[in-house]
Structure 1
Amino acid sequence: MPELPEMETYKSLLTQKIEGNKVTEVAINREKSINVEPKVFKNIVQNQRIVAIERRAKYLLFHLENGSYLLLHLMLGGWMFYGTADEKPDRTIQVQLSFGDYHLYFIGLRLGYLHLFSADEVKEELKDLGPEPLDVNFSLNSFLDLVKDRRGKVKTTLVDQEFLSGIGNRYSDEIAWYAQLLPERKMNELDNNEKVQLYQSIRFVLQQAIQYGGYMDQPLFRGDSKTGGYNTYVYNREGEACKRCGGTIIKDEISSRKTFYCTECQR
């Protein structure tokens, strides 16, 4: 599932491609991928300019010039491609937004969705999300205040979207590895130095993943050399040697989530 770095990568690349452009046509091939009648969706979205693209947690928000918003959550298996009809991937397209000869294809939206909302509806939809971990105002003191009463495990705390927004299964493992903490450790058992290390690891891992375009291996457009340049340290590396200490990466399950870590250097 795309997480904060992947959606941030999509945001920055799509801003270059479609911000300021008019949606010339809308095609809905799967009604369950949207939240209103297709005719209503088309009437509100078609002929509108994309005035801005914003990321919040694992969501993208497309701001339309009429004040409406398209809220995208790709969920498991969802991705996008931008290009001409000749470049279109040989995959089923659930929703398509056209910009003249170029099209933004939404693919794999079986669990994901592209919903149409007003400004107030968007605010209500996202109201329970926790702080953005890379926000300039999210300081170490903010983090320490946030975790002081937390008693859950490191893994389950990091993926809790009401605690912090945007971190999922993959990057929670990467963050715990970089912080040298076992993901099953309890937050209330961490000493102050470990909490500081966890905060620094959150910031570092997410920033590094954004720098390298996240993990997704499907390019956003033909010639896209940015998307998918991030290589994980532990996630999906069961049985491989740890890149830090040479120990063996193991796979476990914590709160029904597959979890990868090194028992040698994570404590």
Structure 2
Amino acid sequence: MEEKTLSLRTVEVIRYVTPLREGGSLPAIVEADDDFLYVLKFRGAGQGIKSLIAELIGGEVARAMGLKVPEIVFANVDPAFGRTEPDEEIQDLLKASEGLNLALHYLPGAITFDPNVTKVGAGLASQIVWLDSFITNVDRTARNTNMLVWYKELWLIDHGASLYFHHNWERWEEQSRRPFALIKDHVLLPWATEMENADSKARAVITPQKIKEIVSLVPDEWLVLLAPEPVENIRDVYVQFLTNRLSLNFVNDVQHARQTLV
């Protein structure tokens, strides 16, 4: 059977519903032309395009690993979309975000994960810790878990703080081979006791070819804004960064971090 080509749907944003005043990026719930609600991440907010690229790549790596992530779609914001918005801050954000943005399917009724309330098994915890070590996600801590519980299942959201190497572009190769020291702050670290199994399962699916497929989803129009280089050179940096990280021993790194827990 022929393998399905990896792709994302594109929707048109037709209605701004409400802002989600979390952090500095000011995402929002919007309605699209397919009648679904989405959490829209704006290209004109915070870290802008870099955050959208990290969100896309991090989310699709998680999905490839079998973890639950809301559907990610490209979302077009029309130039006229923000003209009737009374809030000047939101109006400016909409104007700065005309064109192609990123959105995640909205999970109505989902609640923020609380490690004191919801138990996570060692297998799942280990997979998530492996993921965040791989994509260098600094933002899955007890203070901000970036996980939701929806219909008694754990869903991963907000990977925009991953791949932080692209904020210091010149040192990407050095950073690609560096252990992820901040895994010590991961909210699920105490329960990540099955790292060997998680490592084996992840490496069976997160191959150099899968990395290329995921990075190929990033639109050229985003990449061209990152550096004065050909788009394919920039895309290749993301591929090589993640491919290089496969050479690291996440099992040992996590076990060492767990030994420092009191």
- TM-score, normalised with respect to structure 1: 0.24
- TM-score, normalised with respect to structure 2: 0.25
Which structure has the larger Rg? 1
Query: Whose RCO is larger (CA < 8 A, sep 6+)?
Result: 2
Greater percentage in strand: 1
Greater percentage in helix: 2
